[in-house]
Homo-oligomer: A and B are copies of this chain.
Amino acid sequence: MKTLSSVKCFEGQQLQLQHESAALSCTMQFSVYLPPAAVAGKKVPVVYWLSGLTCTDQNFTTKAGAQRIAADLGIALVMPDTSPRGPQVPVDPDNSWDFGLGAGFYVNATQAPWKTHYQMERYVVDELPELVEAEFPLQPRRAICGHSMGGHGALTIALNHPNRYASVSAFSPIVAPSQCPWGRKALGHYLGESRESWLRYDTVALIRAGARQLPMLVDQGTADSFLAEQLKTDLLITACAEMGYKAQINYRDGYDHSYYFIASFIENHLKFHARHL
- Chain A interfacial positions (CB closer than 8 Å to B): 7-11, 14, 62-63, 65, 67-68, 221, 223, 254-256, 258-261, 263-264
A255 contact set on B, CB distance < 8 A: 8
Say what secondary structure dominates the interface of chain A.
mixed
Across chains A and B, which 10 residue pairs bring their CB atoms closest together, nearest first? A65-B65, A9-B260, A8-B254, A7-B260, A10-B264, A8-B255, A62-B63, A14-B260, A7-B256, A7-B258
Write the chain B residue with the least CB distance to A221: B8
CB distance from A223 to the nearest CB of B (A): 7
Write the chain B residue with the least CB distance to A14: B260
CB atoms of A65 and B260 under 8 A apart: no
Write the chain B residue with the least CB distance to A59: B62
Can you give 25 contacting A-B residue pairs, CB < 8 Å?
Answer: A7-B256, A7-B258, A7-B260, A8-B223, A8-B254, A8-B255, A8-B256, A8-B261, A9-B260, A9-B261, A9-B263, A9-B264, A10-B263, A10-B264, A11-B264, A14-B260, A62-B62, A62-B63, A63-B63, A65-B65, A65-B68, A65-B263, A67-B260, A67-B263, A68-B263
A62 contact set on B, CB distance < 8 A: 62-63, 259
How far apart are the CA atoms of A221 and B259 in the complex, in Å? Answer: 27
A67 contact set on B, CB distance < 8 A: 260, 263
CB distance from A142 to the nearest CB of B (A): 24
Of A68, A223, A260, most buried by chain B (CB within 10 Å of CB) is A260
Given contacts A7-B258, A8-B264, 6 further A-B contacts (CB under 8 A): A8-B255, A8-B260, A8-B261, A62-B259, A67-B260, A68-B264
A7 contact set on B, CB distance < 8 A: 256, 258, 260-261
